[in-house]
Amino acid sequence: MPRPRIDGFDEKLIAGFIERGLYKNQKEVVSAALRILAERHMELEATANATTYTDDTYAQQLEESSNAAVGNLARQSAVR
């Protein structure tokens, strides 16, 4: 399968990384960019999942388990 061609401004950015000696070729630049993009999206998903918990969620967990108290206290101190 042939490599996809990257035209325009993106091509200039890739060439800049190669010219500076940061990467050897287009594949290395794109791989590094995709890795960083994937890490960023995982961080965003983790943040989104963390903010979906409500006080009711923690209250329910407190009723079910004493270990949930630690998470609730940590959350309350982070909000302050």
Contact 9, 1 (CB under 8 A): no
Residue 29: count of CB within 10 angstroms of its CB: 20
* pLDDT tens per residue across span 32-57: 999 999 999 999 888 877 766 666 77
Contact 61, 55 (CB under 8 A): no
Q: Say which amino acid occupies 1.
A: M
Q: Is 29 helix (H, G, I), strand (E, B) or coil?
A: helix
* pLDDT tens per residue across span 7-36: 788 899 999 999 999 999 999 999 999 999
Contact 23, 11 (CB under 8 A): no
* Residue for token pair 């409500």: 54
- pTM of the complete model: 0.54
Rounded average pLDDT over 63-75: 61
Q: State the pLDDT at residue 63.
A: 72
